[in-house]
Amino acid sequence: QSVLTQPPSASGTPGQRVTISCSGSSSNIGNNYVYWYQQLPGTAPKLLIYRINQRPSGVPDRFSGSKSGTSASLAISGLRSEDEADYYCAAWDDSLSGWVFGGGTKLTVL
């Protein structure tokens, strides 16, 4: 059971906007930055969003992050077939004194 809770799956059609949620607590998301990662099959994870809503260079602005209280969200607009992947949220946890990941959300582009 992951400390951060994500829906196991999400789906959308090309061009749609989808949102993936990540629920935590005051010891992690509530008081710390949230990061989002994309993992395509057979490849290493890739940083999509850091410090809640910052995009590394090269990440399209179709990807955006937000936070409210102890929950965070990743939004993907203009969905494309190449967005089909697993998505993970992560944050530092003050109580555990370590990093925690969400269980991951498998995004399917229909």
Partner 1 sequence: QVQLVQSGAEVKKPGASVKVSCRASGYTFTSYYMHWVRRAPGQGLEWMGIINPSGGSTSYAQKLQGRVTMTRDTSTSTVYMELSSLRSEDTAVYYCARSTSGWYGGPDYWGQGTLVTVSS
Binding site for partner 1 (CB under 8 A): 2, 32-33, 35, 37, 39, 44-47, 50, 56, 86, 88, 90-92, 96-104
Residue placing its CB nearer to partner 1 in the complex, 10 or 77:
10
Shortest spacing between CB 15 and partner 1, in angstroms: 28
Report residue 97 as tokens: 């004194």
How far, in Å, CA of 100 to CA of 79, rounded?
27
Shortest spacing between CB 75 and partner 1, in angstroms: 19
Residue 43 CB partners (closer than 8 Å, separation 6+): none
Write phi, then psi, for 81 (nearest 5 degrees). Answer: -60, -30
How far, in Å, CA of 9 to CA of 84, rounded?
11
Residue placing its CB nearer to partner 1 in the complex, 44 or 68:
44
Residue placing its CB nearer to partner 1 in the complex, 31 or 70:
31
How far, in Å, CA of 43 to CA of 58, rounded?
17
Residue placing its CB nearer to partner 1 in the complex, 76 or 88:
88
